[in-house]
Amino acid sequence: MSRRLVGVAAAPGRARGIAHWIVHDLPPVPHRTIGAGEVEREIARFEVARERACEQIAQLRRVTARQIGEIEAKIFDPQLLMLEDPELVDGTVSYIRENFLSAERAFDWRLLEFRFRFLDSAHHMVVDRLADLQDIRFRVLSDLHDGLGVDLAVPDQPAVLLFRELTPSFAVGLDPERVLGVLTMGGTRAAHSAIIARTLDIPAVVGIGTDLEQVAEGTSVIMDGGSGRVIVDPTEEEIEAYERLVTHLKLRQETRDEGAAGPNYTKDKVRIRLAANLDAPDGVRAAVRAGAEGVGLFRSEFLVIGRRVIPDEDEQYQAYRTVVEAFPEHDVTLRTFDIGGDKFPLFLDMQSEENPYLGWRAIRVCLDRPDLFRSQLRAAVRAGAHGALKLMIPFVISLEELLRTREMLQEVIASIPEESGDRGIPLGVMVETPAVVETLDLLAPYIDFASLGTNDLTQYVLAADRGNVRLAHLADPLHPALFRMYHRIRETATQSDVDVTVCGDLPTDPIGLAALIGLGYRQFSIPASSFPVVREIVRSVSTSDLRQLCDSLRDRTITAEIRAPLADYVEAALPADTASAVHLSVGVTGR
């Protein structure tokens, strides 16, 4: 019997392979004291190890910049700063000098204090900082103590790698040819290592929790980084279904690569527009290759998380312009910084909050920090002169936020008339709070478009933290409350003449996509790696059948009664060789 695990979908894509644990927990550092005469020698040993660690990280930073991108390379800056932090360095030296501890023991103690301090802050941001600490601990201690005996070897055969915590420096070293996928106990979608996995196109499911410990070395696993699901010890039937899916999608991909991607139509010839979600500018290549019709969500905050200093206007301008120019014929929707929640830049003093997802997040931060916001707006306006850029505000709850943003945008445009181009910048909102759902008709005259954020809307409507894996089974975006809301949003948008796209992850689930099409949505923005499955489903379904079906589901009281008929429809509509596989892969019944 197979088992199922659920985690946070961190990097899309599917994989099947043998589980291989990478354990980079160092064994306990022996307690060793030294004599007074050895103090200077121990300090020198520590200094050499620290400098070597700095050099290695700087080298990793250079390689990352060359092979992945300059923005990703900056994730190593906090580690370099930590290794130069006088509190860490002087603290270690004084433990050696005053407590007569060995270099490794003194450094480890000092790091432990840092760790407790981070944990004390109870801040989501610590997840990233802890991974950084682990990285530098590993480097300095392995240098000081060759014999610590840690096996970091990746097996010769490609495998699915399992980690307690994936640190950034290990993540950048992952070879996509040999690493089929990554599963971790800890981590968040916004963690540096998850960003790297997405950039390297390695499927990843993070935050699985202690259940992952039950997966023994060498066990066979199937994983889906787009839905956060993992099948441990799959049955023959599940393996066959999975293989059919992969073969089918590959064939589709090849056929499509040979010809132009072209627009997408449903079976009854209704046009569906598929744009891409981007987490970083480097993602544009994959988006163009996938045949995306523009960008429906560019998560600009990935430019700032983990950064010690605000990226200046020019750096932002270059990043936005790169994306805009990659799509000369399509719109690019830049979302203003969605920081807070689980994404924290280091340059903002973000106090620890009891409920960060209900806290100082996104537009609230931007309006409170006009210096930060203005530089983003200026960069966006300048980039907008090179293409069709739109601006979208996340986490909106009120008209005041929208009006204040528009006012600032207009001030910025007026301040740089020669760089603003002549197209104007459409301004829209994410529909991801219940407040906006309820007042969409009232906001309509003030917005140029809206985009449905099913990820946050689900957590806010169902009162279930999206990062809490324990609640994953409750946070179903097809809960009747949400299903009815999607219907109402669509109706209101049509009546109020508001152009609406869906940019949350729901359409990457075939059942979710079918539901949204049935409810009248025609524009979706999805990760590049989801294009093959989504296209397949778009082409196989009929909007009129789905409309009828969805009409009959609006009075259903439990989620399974919504999912099951839609799953049956999708399965019957898809070509026989994909149906059961899609069913399996996305865990239609598993939610």
Binding-site ranges for ligand PEP (CB under 6 A): 297, 299, 338, 432, 453-456, 503-504
Catalytic status, residue 248 = no
Among 548, 583, 591, 544, smallest CA distance to 567 is for 583
Residue bearing tokens 């306006």: 381
Residue bearing tokens 């099913």: 454
- What is the smallest separation between the CB atom of 396 and Mg ion, expressed in angstroms? 11
Query: Contact region for Mg ion (CB under 5 A) — 59-67, 118-126, 166-174, 456-464?
Result: 456-464
- What is the smallest separation between the CB atom of 93 and ligand PEP, expressed in angstroms? 43
Beta bridge partners of residue 502, listed in sequence order = 452, 524
Q: Which is nearer to ligand PEP, 79 or 455 (CB)?
A: 455
* Interface with Mg ion in residues 125-144 (CB under 5 A): none
Catalytic status, residue 503 = yes
Q: Which is nearer to Mg ion, 453 or 520 (CB)?
A: 453
Q: Which is nearer to ligand PEP, 457 or 562 (CB)?
A: 457
- DSSP letter string, 83-130: HH-HHHHHHHHHHHHHH-B-HHHHHHHHHHHHHHHHHHTT-TTHHHHH
Q: Report residue 552 as tokens.
A: 């009959």
Beta bridge partners of residue 110, listed in sequence order = none
- What is the smallest separation between the CB atom of 221 and ligand PEP, expressed in angstroms? 26
For residues 187 and 167, the answer to whether their CB atoms sit within 8 Å is no
- What is the smallest separation between the CB atom of 251 and Mg ion, expressed in angstroms? 34
As a whole number of angstroms, the distance between CA 463 and CA 474 comes to 9
Give which of Mg ion, ligand PEP, none residue 92 binds (C-beta under 5 to 8 Å, depending on kind). Answer: none
Q: Which is nearer to ligand PEP, 412 or 431 (CB)?
A: 431
Pairing between strand 427-431 and 449-452?
A: parallel
How is residue 33 annotated by DSSP? B
Is residue 527 involved in binding Mg ion (CB under 5 A)? Answer: no
Give which of Mg ion, ligand PEP, none residue 17 binds (C-beta under 5 to 8 Å, depending on kind). Answer: none
Is residue 510 involved in binding Mg ion (CB under 5 A)? Answer: no
Give which of Mg ion, ligand PEP, none residue 20 binds (C-beta under 5 to 8 Å, depending on kind). Answer: none
Give which of ligand PEP, Mg ion, none residue 7 binds (C-beta under 5 to 8 Å, depending on kind). Answer: none
Helix (H) or strand (E) holding 333: strand 331-335
- What is the smallest separation between the CB atom of 194 and ligand PEP, expressed in angstroms? 13
At residue 518's C-alpha, the angle toward residues 573 and 391, to 5°, is: 120
Q: Which is nearer to ligand PEP, 224 or 342 (CB)?
A: 342
Q: Which residue is nearest to Mg ion (CB)?
A: 456
Is residue 453 involved in binding Mg ion (CB under 5 A)? Answer: yes
Give which of Mg ion, ligand PEP, none residue 299 binds (C-beta under 5 to 8 Å, depending on kind). Answer: ligand PEP
Residue bearing tokens 């994959």: 286
Catalytic pick among 20, 487, 503, 583? 503
For residues 321 and 298, the answer to whether their CB atoms sit within 8 Å is no
- The answer for residues whose C-beta is within 8 angstroms of residue 215's C-beta and 6 or more apart is 5, 19, 162, 183, 221, 232
As a whole number of angstroms, the distance between CA 11 and CA 206 comes to 9
- What is the smallest separation between the CB atom of 299 and Mg ion, expressed in angstroms? 9
**In this chain, which of 108, 224, 456, 509 binds Mg ion, going by CB under 5 A?**
456
For residues 281 and 323, the answer to whether their CB atoms sit within 8 Å is yes
Q: How many residues lie near Mg ion (CB under 5 A)?
A: 3
Q: Which is nearer to Mg ion, 171 or 461 (CB)?
A: 461
- The answer for residues whose C-beta is within 8 angstroms of residue 316's C-beta and 6 or more apart is 300, 303, 375, 376, 379, 380
In a 3-state reduction of DSSP, which class is residue 474? coil
Query: Contact region for Mg ion (CB under 5 A) — 17-25, 199-207, 232-240, 448-456?
Result: 448-456
Catalytic pick among 24, 124, 192, 583? 192
The footprint of Mg ion (CB under 5 A) covers: 432, 453, 456
Residues with catalytic function: 192, 503
